[in-house]
Amino acid sequence: MAFLRSLRARVLLWVSVALTALFALTVAALDVTFRETTDGARRELLEVQLLGLAGLAEPTDDGRLVLPTDAINPEFSVADSGLYGMLWDSAGNVVWSSLSLLGGEPPLTPALDEGETRRFVLVDAPNAPLEALLMRIAFDDATEPYVFGIAVSLTPYLERQAAFRRYLIAWFATITLVTLLVLTVLLRVVLRPLGTLERQVREVEAGRRQRLDGAFPSELIPLAGNLNALIETERRRLVRYRNMLDDLAHALKTPLAAMRSLLAEFRDPGPNAEDLPSALAREVERMDQRVSYQLRRARASGATGLGVEPVAVAPVVDDLKHTLDKVYREKGVELTTRIVPGAVFHGDPGDLTELLGNLLDNAYKYCRAKVSLVVETRPDRLVLRIGDDGPGISPEEVERLVERGVRADESTPGQGIGLAVVRETVELYGGALAVERSPLGGAEVVVELGRAGFVL
């Protein structure tokens, strides 16, 4: 049902069910309590009336009982007053009955078992249901015990209970409706930030808003932050892919034009025909480098940080050290590492491997014999310091190195692409890249990385 898709509707529905069940139980409990209290009070009244009637009885000289009619409760003398009195001898004969019975037969019999002294009895009388108390009492001056009976009409009690039940239902129904009305208003106020968030998400989908903003409650701030991270990452990724395609198309134009010219010279060879194959090979190499660079850029994912498991840095460093020691075995490079215990990278494992692999490969390549790696952590930050004892990098070359495809040593292929890929990855993680002087005497590349998907 479309109605139940609304969070407000679901809350109201289940609160209504809960309140209805709770109030129904409350009404039932109060009704039972009121009924039991009324029944107890009625039985106490019957007992008091019966003992009062028995207290007025006077034994005569011949062992019979006499009730002075002028001293008894006036209700016994009013027709259909709702209070009735009866007296039986041991043989079950009616000795006395109240005038409230209008001279009719008593509506009950002295049905007490042998040894039983008292009993409450419900009587289904023609006019109205009654409750009666029968009690066997023996008088010292009387020759035999007598049975007293007091009956009271249940009609006023049942009417009082029904009225109380109606009041309960009316009051609790009113309380339920008022509670639901107040809850509806409160939900509208409390859920207003969710409505704002939903509206802003729709505006982002429609392109009318760039990110979610506003004074969200503390419970929604992480959600809004994650959504902003996702939006920003997807936007950056789209722009990045477009730029990569533009860059690749632009980078291939020059070598393609040169290759067309060379191919034309193949058809009409000139005096330098013997240089054509090597020139063509150089252009193919240039194209291969550009395509290789763009592919390595594309592998840097810059994950959103949602559902990304932290990557331990130490095992990645160990794997890269093992690989590079084999590659540069003849050079005999000594790598010293200092990694903060428990250091983790919040992002894609492939990005960390690509970034560290490029930096360490360059350090191994340009060092004389020593390379150092320091890994530090800051709040939501990971800092990498890769230094070597090589010739170092001049300040003028530092600025050129971080530009795409620029190499400090053209005789050593690949560094320009490697550092450019490092720069791309660092930007994806909202970090910073700097080249400083290493304590070992050479260059030290300092990389600061943020949490995946969050620009801090």
Q: What is the pLDDT of residue 337?
A: 93
Mean pLDDT of 97-103: 78
Q: Name 428's Cβ contacts closer than 8 Å, sequence gap at least 6.
A: 236, 240, 300, 301, 302, 351
pLDDT surpasses 80 at 63: no
Question: Residues of the chain with pLDDT > 70: what percent?
Answer: 81
Mean pLDDT of 267-277: 65
Q: How far apart are CA 344 and CA 380, in angstroms?
A: 10
pLDDT surpasses 70 at 247: no
Q: Name 355's Cβ contacts closer than 8 Å, sequence gap at least 6.
A: 384, 421, 422, 425, 426, 447, 449
Q: What is the pLDDT of residue 408?
A: 40
pLDDT in tens, 150-195: 999 898 999 999 999 999 999 988 998 998 899 888 888 888 888 8
In CATH terms, the fold of domain 1-190 is Beta-Lactamase (3.30.450)
pLDDT in tens, 211-239: 888 787 877 788 888 788 777 777 777 77
Q: What is the pLDDT of residue 456?
A: 35
Q: How far apart are CA 86 and CA 53, in angstroms?
A: 10
More confident residue, 415 or 209: 209
Mean pLDDT score of the chain, rounded to an integer? 80
- pLDDT class of 72 with cuts at 50, 70, 90: confident
Q: What is the pLDDT of residue 38?
A: 92
Q: Length of the chain, please?
A: 456
Q: How many CB atoms lie within 10 A of CB 372?
A: 21
Q: What is the pLDDT of residue 447?
A: 92
Question: Residues of the chain with pLDDT > 90: what percent?
Answer: 19
CA angle 284, 286, 292 (to 5 degrees): 100
Q: What is the pLDDT of residue 244?
A: 67
Helix, coil or strand: residue 219: coil
1-190 with 311-449: one CATH topology? no
Mean pLDDT of 319-335: 90
- Superfamily of domain 311-449 in the CATH hierarchy: Histidine kinase-like ATPase, C-terminal domain (3.30.565.10)
Measured N-to-C along each axis, helices 221-267 and 415-428 cross at an angle, to the nearest 10 degrees, of 160
Mean pLDDT of 48-69: 78
CB 443 within 8 A of CB 388: yes
Least Cα distance to 384 among 441, 439, 433, 327 occurs for 433
Q: CA dist 253 to 163, 184, 307, Å?
A: 95, 65, 41
More confident residue, 258 or 135: 135
Q: Tell me the sheet residues that pair with 447.
A: 384, 433
- pLDDT class of 427 with cuts at 50, 70, 90: confident
Q: What element of type H or E holds 130? A: strand 129-137
- pLDDT class of 313 with cuts at 50, 70, 90: very high
Q: How far apart are CA 266 and CA 272, in angstroms?
A: 10
pTM as predicted:
0.51
pLDDT in tens, 367-411: 999 999 999 988 778 999 999 998 887 777 766 665 544 444 433
Q: How far apart are CA 45 and CA 40, in angstroms?
A: 9
pLDDT surpasses 70 at 1: no
The single-letter code of the amino acid at 152 is V
Q: Which residue has the tokens 């070359």?
A: 397
Q: How many CB atoms lie within 10 A of CB 421?
A: 25
Mean pLDDT of 325-340: 90
Q: How far apart are CA 39 and CA 49, in angstroms?
A: 15
- pLDDT class of 418 with cuts at 50, 70, 90: low
Q: CA dist 272 to 100, 215, 265, 412, Å?
A: 144, 72, 9, 28
Q: How far apart are CA 366 and CA 391, in angstroms?
A: 7
The full set of domain ranges for the chain reads: 1-190, 221-299, 311-449
In terms of average pLDDT, the best of 119-133, 264-278, 419-433 is 119-133
More confident residue, 3 or 210: 210
